Structures are given as C-alpha cells and as structure tokens.
C-alpha cells in the first residue's frame, strides 16, 4: 500500500477528462493536478516549447513526491514523453500508448484506424508509429480537428448544431474509407463523442485514450504494489498557471464533479520549483 499521490498534468483543463476515469476507477487515490492554463494550447505548437513546458510541469509536480506522473495530454504524450520520463525519477504514463493499444486490439478485425487529435499530435506521427508497431500493416488516417477544443471550452455540447456541423465537415469525407476504429486522441474530444460518432456513421468503434489510460495507471500501480489504502477516501488538489475561476467552472464539466478550490501557481513560481527539482536531481 502506498499513500503518495498520483500526479497528473495537462496543457490546461482537458486532462480532467482523464482524471474523471481515474477517480472512478481508483477512488482511494489522492490526485494532484497541474493545468498549464497560462500557456495552453499546446496543440498548435512545435516540439521544442512543448518539451520545455512539459518538463517544467512535471518538475513542479515532483515537489508532491508522487508515486507516478500521468501525462494527461495527447500533445505532450506524442511530442515529449521520453523527455519527461527521463527527467523525473518516478514511473510516467502517457495517454498515447494505452489508446493505441486499445485501437490495435480492435483493428484485428481489419479496416483503417482513424486518429483524431490536435495538429501537433497528428503531424508528429507518434500515434501512427505506435499503431504500426502494435498492429503491423494497419492503415492509419490522421485528421486534426482543431475547432473541437474551443467549442468544448465555450461550453458547447455534442447535441449542439454547430458542433454537429463541424464534426460533419471534418469527418463526413471519411465515410467510405473503411474506418472501423476511431481514437479520440485529444483530451477535449470525449465530451463531443456522440457528435463524432454520428458524423462517422454506424460501425465505427470509438476509443477514448483517457479511459484506457486510467486502466494503464491502475495496472502500473497494482504491478508495483503501490495502490492506496482501500479505507482511504481519495482527494483531488488542482493547481493552474492562470485563471483558476475559469478552470473551476469549465473543468467541472470534464471532471463531472464540482471543483472546490483551485490554486494559482504563476509561471515564475513553477519555473522556480522546476529549477529546484532539476538542481536536486543533479546534486547541486
Ligand atoms: N490537451 C491537449 C491534447 O490533448 C488539447 C489542448 C491543447 O491544444 O493544449 O492534445
């Protein structure tokens, strides 16, 4: 048994769609979440700043002595996971591998796998590399859907006619391409799942990377005998780099529970925490 927290970070509030599954699956775990709301979105950035931000986020979370760090951001998982894993001295789980694994299992029935994600995630080719490793010969079609992120953040839901129109615009051309599996490879897309599914038509299985990741985290903790005490009621503590009120208001839709308190950590503070952690690691 291990009462250290599970640390989670994302470019903003989207990672709460992963935490939602984690809270249900592992209700005894304490979670510390960091959302880099001052620097979101990551999905339109190139690799160097994403690596840089991801390392600062992970090092900020190291001060809580976590037993595992979950990278609940598809863009970071696609562009910076090895760098994060190398920089912190604890197990790191990203959202990409669990999502790709679930899709590859479904793909044994044939047909193409559709990857939906940010521009950075799709153009990185990281999902494609994982999928072709897990299911050699599989056809992967990547489609960036950038408008989905602001639509969700604006409070629009799957039944909204504008969401349905945007989903059709992105996805209707794929009908007839023998797509059997679609990966929701962005933290925001699970909230639009029904609209995405309707635009793709019947017979397409949807993989929610966040849900798969919660299972991967449980398996990693169980394998290390590091699950929390079953008598313990897990808590969640949230930190953001900007606008805690907005995070609380919109984030509760992702988390599907109220968010009581959100703590603000301005960039200068978490950059200082990141430097301290790096210095300690180097023994300086
Ligand atoms: N969290 C990001 C992802 O899953 C979406 C938002 C962003 O672009 O930062 O890729």
CATH code given to domain 97-210:
3.40.50.1860
Please report the atom of ligand 1 found closest to the CA of residue 78.
10
In this predicted structure, the answer to whether residue 151 has a pLDDT above a threshold of 90 is yes
Q: What are the strands, taking DSSP E only, across the chain?
A: 6-10, 31-35, 68-71, 92-94, 112-117, 140-144, 179-185, 205-208, 236-240, 262-264
Residues 6+ apart with CB under 8 A from 194: 158, 159
Atom of ligand 1 nearest to the CA of 75: 10
To the nearest whole percent, how much of the chain has pLDDT over 70? 100
User: Given this model, what pLDDT does residue 272 score?
Assistant: 76
Cα dihedral 160→166→167→170 (10° resolution): 180
Q: At what angle do helices 161-171 and 193-200 cross, to 10 degrees?
A: 50
**186 CA closest ligand 1 atom index:** 4
SS (H, E, C) 197-250: HHHHCCCCEEEEHHHHHHHHHHHHHHHCCCCCCCCCCCCEEEEECCCHHHHHHH
Confidence of residue 268 (pLDDT cuts 50, 70, 90): confident
94 lines ligand 1 (CB under 6 A): no
**What pLDDT shows up at residue 108?**
80
Q: How confident is the model at residue 119 (pLDDT cuts 50, 70, 90)?
A: very high
Domain ranges within the chain, ordered by starting residue = 6-94+211-282, 97-210
For residue 33, give the nearest of 52, 51, 18, 53 by alpha carbon: 18
From 149, 184, 247, the mutation candidate for ligand 1 (largest count of ligand atoms within 8 A of CB) is: 149
Question: In the numeric block, which tokens belong to residue 205?
Answer: 């299985």
Do 6-94+211-282 and 97-210 come out as alike in CATH topology?
yes
Q: Is 121 in the pocket of ligand 1 (CB under 6 A)?
A: yes
H-run or E-run covering 48: helix 47-62
186 annotated active-site: yes
Q: Probe ligand 1: pick from 11, 150, 189, 211, max atoms within 8 Å of CB?
A: 11
Distance 229 CA to ligand 1 centre (A): 32
d(CA 186, CA 117): 5
pLDDT of residue 199: 97
Q: Is the CB of 10 under 6 A from ligand 1?
A: yes
In contact, 49 and 79? CB cutoff 8 Å: no
Marked catalytic residue, from 6, 183, 186, 204? 186
What average pLDDT score do residues 264-273 get?
80
Is 148 close to ligand 1, i.e. is its CB under 6 Å away? no
**C-alpha to C-alpha distance for 128 and 117, rounded to whole angstroms:** 12
pTM of the model: 0.95
71 lines ligand 1 (CB under 6 A): no
Is the Cβ atom of 244 under 6 angstroms away from ligand 1?
no
Backbone angles phi, psi at 242, to 5 degrees: -165, 155
CA dist 278 and 196 (Å) reads 42
Average pLDDT over residues 198-226: 96
Domain spanning 6-94+211-282, CATH architecture: 3-Layer(aba) Sandwich (3.40)
The CA distance from 34 to 236, in Å, is 11
Catalytic option among 22, 51, 55, 73? 73
Atom of ligand 1 nearest to the CA of 44: 8
Is residue 96 within 8 A of residue 71, CB to CB? The reply is no
What pLDDT, on a 0 to 100 scale, did the predictor assign at position 282? 76
Instruction: Give the nearest ligand 1 atom to 15 CA.
Output: 1
Q: Using the predicted structure, report yes or no on whether residue 275 has a pLDDT greater than 80.
A: no
pLDDT tens column, 44-97:
999 999 999 999 999 999 999 999 999 999 999 999 999 999 999 999 999 999
- The pLDDT of residue 279 is 78
**Which of 44-48, 153-157, 212-216 shows the lowest mean pLDDT across its residues?**
153-157
Nearest CA to ligand 1 atom 1: 73
Pocket test for ligand 1, best of 33, 38, 43 (most atoms within 8 A of CB): 43
């Amino acid at each position: 048994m291990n009462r250290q927290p599970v640390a989670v970070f994302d470019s903003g509030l989207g990672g709460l769609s992963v935490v939602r599954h984690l809270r249900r699956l592992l209700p005894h775990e304490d979670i510390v979440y960091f959302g880099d709301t001052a620097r979101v979105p990551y999905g339109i950035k190139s690799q160097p700043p994403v690596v840089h931000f991801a390392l600062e986020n992970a090092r900020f979370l190291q001060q809580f002595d976590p037993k595992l760090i979950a990278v609940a951001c598809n863009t970071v998982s696609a562009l910076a996971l090895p760098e994060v894993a190398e920089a912190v001295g604890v197990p790191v789980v990203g959202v990409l591998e669990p999502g790709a694994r679930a899709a590859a299992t479904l793909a044994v029935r044939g047909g193409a796998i559709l990857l939906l994600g940010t521009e950075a995630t799709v153009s990185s080719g990281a999902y494609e590399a994982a999928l072709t490793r897990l299911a050699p010969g599989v056809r992967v079609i990547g489609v960036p859907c950038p408008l989905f992120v602001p639509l969700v953040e604006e409070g629009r839901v799957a039944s909204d006619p504008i969401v349905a129109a945007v989903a059709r615009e992105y996805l209707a051309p794929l009908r007839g391409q023998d797509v059997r599996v679609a990966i929701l490879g962005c933290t925001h897309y699970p909230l639009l799942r029904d609209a995405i599914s309707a635009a793709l038509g019947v017979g397409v299985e949807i993989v929610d990377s966040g849900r798969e990741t919660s299972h991967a985290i449980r398996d990693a903790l169980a394998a290390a005998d590091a699950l929390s005490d079953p008598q313990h009621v897990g808590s969640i503590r949230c930190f953001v780099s900007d606008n805690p009120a907005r995070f609380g208001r919109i984030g509760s839709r992702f988390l599907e529970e109220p968010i009581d308190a959100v703590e603000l950590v301005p960039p200068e503070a978490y950059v200082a925490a990141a430097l301290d952690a790096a210095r300690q690691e180097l023994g300086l």
